[in-house]
Chains A and B, each alone.
Chain A
Amino acid sequence: MIYTLTHSLSTNERMPLSRIELLQGTLDMIVLQTLRWGPRHGYGLVQMIRTNSRGVLQVDTGSLYPALHRLEREGSIAASWEISENRQRVRVYRLTPAGRKRLAAERSKWDQLSEAIAGIFTPPVPEET
């Protein structure tokens, strides 16, 4: 099963049934985390997220590009035009120091959230009074 990452609703008309709606911050976190491994262009990011998730997660382009440009505008990432190995001009994104801080913040928020959810699945034994 391959899950498509999107937030809320994608522009993709043929939406697979197996989509995961993410909060906006979560997609940002995944993008920032992936860029920690080095500068990437948009297509490369899609590939890398799929590989790193062992083929389970597919980012929807309709969500990825707006997220990239929004992050760029916020200053979390920076972009520059480079020439790829196929002699093609590509827009490459890299993490900025501000982006690292942002990632750390998103990460801790995510950890809190996962812990909270995990807590729901393993509730503490109610104390008897």
Chain B
Amino acid sequence: MSNVWRSHTRRQEELDEEIRGHLEMAIRDRMARGETREEAERAARREFGDVTTVREVTGDMWSGQSVERVVQDARWAFRGLLRAPGFTAVAILTLALGIGANTAIFSVVNGVLLEPLPYPQSHELVFITSQFPTLGFDQFPVDAAEYLELKERNRSFQDLGAYVTSAANIGGDGQQPARVTSAIATSSLFTTLGVPARVGRTFTPAEMLPNAAPVAVLSSELWESVFGGQRDIVGKQIDIEGVKTTVVGIMPPGFDIHDQGVKLWQPLTLDPAQRNQYRGSHFLLLVGRLAPNVTLARAKSELQTLLAQWPAADGADANAAPGAPGFVHTPTTKNHRLRYDDLRKDIVGSIGTALVVLQAAVALVLLIACANMANLLLMRAETRHKELAVRAALGAGRGRLMRQFLAEGLVLSFGGAIAGVALAYWGLHALVAANAGSIPRAASVALDGRVLLFTLVLAIGTGLLFGLAPLLHLSTNSIGLTLRDAGSRTTAGAARNRVRRALVIAEMAFAVMLVVGAGLLLRSFWNLMRVDSGFDRSSLTTFNVVLPAAPYKDSTRRVAFFSDLMTKLGAVPGVKAVAAMSGLPPRRQVNANDTDIEGYVPEPNGPAQNVDYYQYVTPSYVSTMGIPVVEGRSFGPADGPLSTPVAMINQRMANLFYGKTSPIGRRVKPGGSKNWFTIVGVLKDVKQGGVDSRTGSELYLDYEQAPVALGFAPRNMNVVIRSPLEPASLAATVRRTVSSLDPTLPVVKFRTMDDVFSDSVSRPRFLAQLLGIFAAVALALAAIGTYGVLAYSVTVRRRELGIRMALGSSQQGLLSLVLGQGMGLAVIGLIAGLVGAFAVTRLASSLLFGVKPADPLTFIGVSAFMLAVAFVACLVPARRATHVDPLVALRTE
């Protein structure tokens, strides 16, 4: 390479000297004939012609070796582009947007969909859950008995672990109380995942037995943030939920399960001898590691055999109904199945469709950018007619010109790619930071080698694609024709115009598809925002407190704590009302509680006696939340801890179990309770499970009655405050108040109810926003492209327009001529785009809410909008056409 380069440089120097010598000899001869030095120099130079081009073209004769040729082509491209800085800047910016957006979205696709999970041999990992088809639960936790039996009976997995995530208060040693995501796990979970502790060890099976000394494993993140990264923490005791717990190990950085962000690991208490006591309490999620040479499909077929044998293996009658003699709550092939899913696929979930839509959207943006670039280069090739003709005439063959065009295209696309990667780096950080919650596996999203390779391929691909555009122009014209064309401004070749028109139509069609997609997603998001949540969200603030199990073992202490808290907060000036509830809408997990409903006879295909949500609330709950009471009354002061147990239900539960009869005065018995609860009121449905999902049945229980009537009151409560006070000042008051009651309690999830709801739709919002941005970019590019082509055609047709004007065409006539030409293309593009959108949007219907993929309103609105944009883009060049001065236009030729 360096040899080639050196010989190339030497030849260029020699050529310079040769040309210089030629000029000197010419000057000397002229001076000998009596000319002055100045005259002689001027004449010699004139006679010689353009030194630079002669030098370049002559030098080109030597470009034989491929390396040298590539270098030369690149130099030629650079020189050409530097001579047109405006064009180059626009081109690189356009490409940077297109390539940058593709790089950014691909790094998300790569991190989320392509990158394997951070465990050794992670493809062997299977996520195991249960399924209750008759209850409508497609993916549900399993009970501990099932876990133990599956572990014992299966032949498909080499190892199997179980876990459940929750939250824990940690403190101790004068530290601020903190709340962290924790997981209660079996010791086998770590061996299944194949990740050992970084310092110390993970749990032993003995530590899972009842009465074992409490131990914990920390994540690296928690170890560093809360415990300052001291190695000697291992072996020491820390305070978890009010219990002194020994730290036995620290996990490597980034170790997690199912993207939950677990910071603290504690052993699951599980006594295999007590197996039968665990039946029916579904709270565990399982992860299995397939044995060598076992595929997921083979494991699934083994599962069918296991399920068929399961009831008999536990001495149960497989045909006995729940509650009937001989019934044991075990998995079966019918109403209580187990399901196996690829762990990675399960984590990624439904974001796959969204990411594919986004990647397709940015691909369209890039295609539009390419079409624009092709147009620009085509025009540029035409304005450089003469230069190209000279090169062709002096022996630069078609092949060489092709290489030079490609070189120019590639130099541009690489420039665009470099700027695009910078743009993507910046954009990706903004994207992930703003939407961390709605992108699973966000931690693995990065501009890594694979992403950069993708960008490189993209740069080469786009460079080739639009770099070849000027060749269309060459191939439709023989060199000779080009030369004759060079000086005159006759109408350009018809084929070339066809290409340009096709590019405009394609740009328009792609942009229409994107804008339709963005429109549909925006309407979906709008619909989501307008869903009636069932209560009044305005000036409502919420926070969460979890009472640690050990100091609050007694349920009456829990009720007393929240009762005191309600009283104290209610006395704060500016607080209008305050209440507490066990489950915070709209992101509640279904808990599917078996419930006896007095007098209810299940129909063959009717609802089972199972309620989706139990909600423990303090007496002022209904008035604080602003939930309308449909029938009866809400809890009141009369419902004391010792009076008749009462309950409220939502409309859905009333419809499910009582139909048209009134539920007031009827009784229900929650699972595990000895007492019957009398229904005193029916409340309007609240969106507990998400604004976009079906409302579940809900049973409200009085928190203050719970300890006596049920023998249990939850420790984890969400407080709601209705107050016009600023959330910030309210937060300070809340923290002070909670701390005055118990200084070890952290206050978490302090947010306005509006924020809670808006977070619950963060993924659709994120999608709508991104697609909106891409559609806007596509729209701008397409408008610029349409404008550019039309403006160019007006320039080229100046002479024709001048003649028309001279022959008596009115300005109005010319305006509509040019406008008609542009709008004709826009309408064809629009129709093509609408057809394309109609065909494609249905594939993304799972992302839509309350709007059909072929929503007429969106399609009509987008059409009108696109025509308006196209009209503006065409109007400017059309108006310019009317300002053509016939005399000037004819004279310039």
Contact = CB atoms under 8 A, between A and B. Distances in A.
A110 interface: no
Contacts of A11: 49-50, 53-54, 57, 390, 394
B28 A7 contact: no
B64 A73 contact: yes
Residue from A12, A84, A86 with most neighbouring chain B CB atoms (10 Å): A12
B744 to A, nearest CB: 89
A73 B61 contact: yes
A62 B17 contact: no
B57 A66 contact: yes
A63 interface: yes
A2 to B, nearest CB: 12
A109 interface: no
A69 B58 contact: yes
Nearest to B389: A9
A61 B57 contact: no
Contact of A65 (B25, B54, B64, B480): B54
Query: Which of under 10, 10 to 19, 20 to 34, or 35 or more describes the interface residues of B?
Result: 20 to 34
A9 B18 contact: no
B57 A62 contact: yes
Nearest to A47: B29
Contact of B483 (A8, A41, A60, A86): A8
B618 to A, nearest CB: 93
Nearest to B18: A91
A65 B21 contact: no
A12 B58 CA distance: 14
A90 interface: yes
B58 A13 contact: no
Contacts, number: 88
A9 B385 CA distance: 13
Contacts of A61: 22, 47-49, 54
Interface string A43-82: 1000000000000000011110110111001000000010
A7 B392 CA distance: 11
Which secondary structure dominates where chain B touches chain A? helix
Contacts of A66: 54, 57-58, 60-61, 394-395
Contacts of B54: 11, 61-62, 65-66
B62 A73 contact: yes
Contacts of B390: 9, 11
Interface string B176-195: 00000000000000000000
Nearest to A6: B393
A74 to B, nearest CB: 10
A70 B28 contact: no
B24 interface: yes
Interface in A66-123: 66, 68-70, 73, 81, 84, 86, 88-91
B619 to A, nearest CB: 97
A13 B61 contact: no
B49 A90 contact: no
Contacts of B18: 41-42, 65, 90-91
Interface in B392-434: 393-395
10 contacts: A8-B393, A13-B49, A24-B395, A41-B22, A43-B21, A43-B26, A63-B394, A69-B58, A69-B62, A73-B61
The 10 closest A-B pairs by CB, nearest first: A12-B49, A8-B393, A69-B61, A65-B58, A43-B25, A11-B53, A70-B61, A43-B22, A62-B49, A91-B18
